[in-house]
């Protein structure tokens, strides 16, 4: 995901963020958390009224405040932002890349702010828990499911194939049917799909035999 867009910002805005950085260096974690909750409340309550510059400022501030507050508070923030269609982009990017699945999980599973390219990048580098969260999204394109079935363990593959909102390419089906030859439960789940390419049906039948 893109970095902070300074093109939106005036000199006064950049000065404000510099001063915020300086003040945070001397603030306690408790104060960080208080400020984070206040800023998040303010953003959520009035986000429809903000200009692009104001949204970018909130994004930069919330992202800064979300650092060094601990996974429990970050998980709380992720849960609050995950379902917002207009959630702050850079903050979402920071949370989605956390190695702690309690933080990144809600974002990976629910956030519509993440682009396919973001999901592909994360699916290529993160843990099986991260892949399982991505596989649980209500809608997944085949560019994402290709990576999930390539890297995912059996639990991830089963989640993908049982997800009616997951589009699966011919390549993805070939990978799943190959795995299904060693996993009868997976084969049974694959067989329930109605969009299996005709040319792969014989391979699925062999996997079910």
What is the percentage of the chain residues whose pLDDT exceeds 90? 55
Spatial separation of the C-alpha atoms in residues 138 and 152, rounded to whole Å: 18
118 belongs to a structural domain: no
63 belongs to a structural domain: no
49 belongs to a structural domain: no
8 A C-beta contact, residue 91 and residue 62: yes
59 belongs to a structural domain: no
8 A C-beta contact, residue 65 and residue 94: no
Q: Which two tokens stand for residue 137?
A: 């999204």
205 belongs to a structural domain: yes
8 A C-beta contact, residue 167 and residue 141: yes
Spatial separation of the C-alpha atoms in residues 136 and 44, rounded to whole Å: 25
70: left (phi over 0), alpha (psi -120 to 50) or beta: left
* pTM for this prediction: 0.86
191 belongs to a structural domain: yes
Residue range of the domain that includes 153:
136-209
Q: What is the pLDDT of residues 40-93, one digit of tens each?
A: 999 999 988 988 888 888 998 899 889 878 899 999 999 999 999 999 999 999
- Into how many domains does the chain fold? 1
- Return the number of other C-beta atoms located less than 10 Å from residue 15's C-beta: 11
Task: Indicate the pLDDT class of residue 13, thresholds 50, 70 and 90.
Answer: low
Nearest of 47, 135, 145, 146 to residue 91 by alpha carbon: 47
Q: How much is the pLDDT for 140? A: 98
- Residues contacting 144, CB < 8 A, separation 6+: 116, 119, 120, 123, 134
Mean pLDDT of the chain: 88
Spatial separation of the C-alpha atoms in residues 199 and 197, rounded to whole Å: 5
72 belongs to a structural domain: no
22 belongs to a structural domain: no
């Amino acid at each position: 995901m893109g970095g902070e867009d300074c093109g939106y910002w005036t000199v006064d805005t950049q000065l404000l963020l510099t001063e915020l950085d300086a003040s945070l260096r001397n603030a306690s974690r408790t104060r960080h958390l208080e400020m984070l909750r206040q800023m998040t409340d303010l953003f959520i309550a009035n986000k429809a009224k903000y200009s692009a510059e104001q949204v970018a400022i909130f994004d930069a501030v919330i992202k800064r405040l979300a650092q060094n507050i601990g996974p429990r508070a970050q998980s709380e923030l992720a849960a609050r932002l995950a379902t917002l269609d207009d959630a702050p982009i850079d903050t979402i990017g920071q949370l989605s890349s956390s190695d702690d699945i309690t933080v990144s999980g809600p974002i990976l599973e629910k956030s519509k702010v993440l682009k396919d390219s973001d999901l592909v990048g994360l699916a290529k580098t993160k843990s099986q828990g991260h892949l399982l969260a991505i596989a649980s999204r209500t809608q997944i394109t085949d560019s994402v499911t290709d990576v999930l079935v390539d890297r995912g363990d059996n639990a991830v593959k089963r989640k993908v194939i049982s997800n009616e909102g997951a589009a699966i390419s011919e390549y993805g089906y070939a990978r799943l049917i190959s795995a299904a030859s060693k996993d009868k439960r997976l084969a049974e789940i694959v067989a329930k799909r109605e969009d299996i390419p005709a040319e792969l049906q014989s391979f699925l039948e062999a996997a079910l035999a």
